[in-house]
């Protein structure tokens, strides 16, 4: 197959058809700093063995999360994933499965997604969940768009302690969806005041729990305030293991729960692919983006599974679709479902307790280091602490000692005055030796 580039005539014909004056206008919405005029940064032709050697050299610069003490979180968490999870998802009937348009030959895929939906609904305390989305940040953005559509209002209030990547995704999609988004200032270790920002023009309030700084809060008062103004409460969860210990968002009055499912069944994978979770109350069912798998019976009365709702752009609704997301993270959803099935309810609660106990031990150990101050009044497996000096330099110094100690808050909030804050996370994989090494290295660096 040969590459046949467009001619000037074909480009003009396409631009005329969509009513755009020229190529510059076509890409006007892309920030100037992200635009490139050529491919000058890419190397020229090399032989296959040269490329392999180059890629191997680049890969050798990476440090695997399992190679030493690891305390990084901020929306992506390292947990033990049983070998059986990877073994099962690599079966050819799962690994090569595509969109189940024909239920008669897709019963396995459909049942997997149905079971996944059931697990997510029970985990979040909601009535119905969809068959997954891209990741947590796009799920959050889709929730905001759905709230605006349902309430016929444009204002979305975002808590400043929402993960910045989720905020930016929501701002980006919201900009083209006509949303008016207000965000409070982030408050490390605290709970920003939000109820006073909700008014008759507000479609939804977006709150993360635990938030990006690890702080845990009761969502019930916020749900009451939102409902009193006729708005929805969107609860964001980036660490679903926390739902094995904390009260579910649904039990606290959330109307929509969205977030990231990576930490159950999925590795860090250098940042992806990940898994978006999305669950709602039944009254919002038909406005929920994505697809929903349902259980039914066939002509002979045997149990079967079908796509119950899939009002997406590639079907008949086109521009009237509830979402422009064109696929789901099916394999990641399967890994999530297998791992959660292996754990069971009691196993998940035990895993959550192990994470919390590990974090209590870490906070206690780091809190004894001179100059360190833990800011959180409550947490699950993540918290923020203050150091004397530049936190980014401290993190680099820790990395030089083969300890990945967390994320400097200044990476997410440059210029916000958080240069001395570190967000750190613990899990069931951290040992007493890891915590002692972390505290010892931190003490040495700060002395």
Residue 317 has a pLDDT of 65
Instruction: Report pLDDT for 35.
Output: 85
280 and 212 in one domain?
A: yes
Residue 37 maps to a domain? no
* Full DSSP string of 234-255: EEEES-GGGGGTSPPTGGGT-S
Judge if 322 and 429 occupy the same domain. Answer: no
Give me the number of domains the chain comprises: 2
| Residue reference for tokens 């999925």 | 266
**407-to-116, 130, 143, 382, 418 alpha-carbon distances in Å:** 31, 32, 27, 11, 12
Rounded (5°) CA angle 373-378-382: 75
Identify any residues that bridge with 421 across adjacent strands, giving them in sequence order: 386
Same domain? 176 vs 259: yes
The pLDDT value recorded for residue 63 is 86
Residue 302 is predicted with a pLDDT of: 94
CA proximity to 209, closest of 223, 229, 198, 199: 223
Same domain, 360 and 259: no
Rg of the Cα trace of the chain? 24
Please check whether residue 223 is in contact with residue 254, taking contact to mean a CB–CB distance below 8 angstroms.
yes
Which structure tokens are listed for 46?
């090399």
The range of the structural domain enclosing residue 331 comes to: 83-340
Verify cis geometry, omega within 30 degrees of 0, for the bond prior to 273.
yes
| Whole-number pLDDT of residue 319 | 67
Spatial CB neighbours of 326, under 8 Å, sequence gap ≥ 6? 312, 313, 314
Is 56 a domain residue? no
Q: What pLDDT, on a 0 to 100 scale, did the predictor assign at position 104? A: 85
Query: Does 51 map to a domain?
Result: no
- pLDDT < 70: residue spans in the chain: 1, 311-319, 326-327
List the CATH number of the domain containing 71.
3.90.1150.10
Return the pLDDT at 315. Answer: 59
pLDDT in tens, 89-108: 999 888 888 778 788 888 99
- CATH classification at residue 197: 3.40.640.10
In a domain, 8, yes or no: no
pLDDT on residue 356: 98
**What tens digit of pLDDT does each residue of 47-94 get?**
999 999 999 999 998 888 999 999 999 999 999 999 999 999 999 888
Residue pair 78/65 in contact by the 8 Å Cβ criterion: yes
β-pairing, 155-158 vs 180-183, is parallel
Indicate whether 381 and 326 sit together in one domain: no
């Amino acid at each position: 197959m040969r590459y046949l580039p467009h001619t000037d005539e074909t480009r003009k014909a396409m631009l005329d058809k969509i009513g755009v004056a020229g190529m510059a206008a076509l890409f006007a919405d892309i920030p100037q700093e992200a635009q490139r005029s050529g491919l000058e940064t890419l190397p020229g032709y090399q032989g296959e063995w040269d490329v392999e050697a180059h890629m191997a050299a680049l890969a050798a610069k990476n440090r695997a999360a399992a190679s030493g003490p690891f305390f990084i979180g901020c929306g992506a968490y390292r947990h033990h994933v049983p070998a059986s999870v990877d073994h099962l998802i690599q079966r050819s009937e799962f690994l090569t499965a595509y969109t189940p348009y024909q239920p008669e030959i897709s019963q396995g895929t459909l049942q997997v997604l149905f079971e996944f939906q059931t697990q997510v609904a029970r985990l979040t305390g909601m009535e119905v969940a969809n068959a997954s989305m891209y990741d947590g940040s796009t799920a959050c953005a889709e929730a905001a768009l759905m709230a605006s559509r349902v309430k016929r209002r444009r204002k979305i209030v975002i808590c400043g302690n929402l993960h910045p990547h989720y905020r930016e995704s929501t701002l980006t999609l919201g900009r083209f969806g006509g949303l008016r988004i207000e965000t409070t200032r982030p408050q490390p270790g605290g709970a920003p005041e939000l109820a006073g920002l909700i008014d008759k023009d507000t479609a939804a309030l977006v709150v993360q729990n635990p938030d990006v700084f690890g702080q845990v809060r009761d969502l019930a008062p916020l749900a009451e305030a939102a409902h009193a103004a006729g708005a929805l409460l969107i609860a964001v969860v980036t660490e679903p293991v926390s739902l094995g210990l904390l009260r579910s968002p649904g039990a606290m009055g959330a109307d929509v729960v969205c977030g990231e499912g990576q930490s159950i069944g999925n590795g860090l994978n250098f940042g992806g692919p990940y898994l978006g979770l999305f669950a709602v109350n039944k009254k919002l069912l038909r406005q929920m983006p994505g697809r929903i798998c349902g259980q039914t019976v066939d002509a002979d009365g045997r149990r079967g599974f079908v796509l119950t709702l899939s009002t997406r752009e590639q079907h008949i609704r086109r521009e009237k679709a509830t979402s422009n997301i064109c696929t789901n993270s099916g394999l990641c959803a399967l890994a999530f479902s297998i791992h959660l099935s292996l754990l069971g309810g009691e196993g998940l609660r035990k895993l959550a307790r192990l994470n919390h106990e590990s974090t209590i031990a870490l906070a206690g150990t780091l809190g004894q280091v001179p100059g360190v101050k833990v800011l959180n009044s409550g947490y699950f497996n993540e918290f923020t602490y203050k150091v004397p000096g530049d936190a980014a330099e401290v993190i680099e110094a820790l990395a030089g000692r083969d300890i990945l100690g967390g994320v400097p808050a200044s990476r997410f909030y440059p210029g916000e005055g958080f240069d001395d804050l570190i967000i750190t996370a613990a899990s069931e994989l951290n040992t007493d030796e890891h915590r002692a090494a972390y505290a010892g290295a931190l003490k040495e660096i700060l002395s």
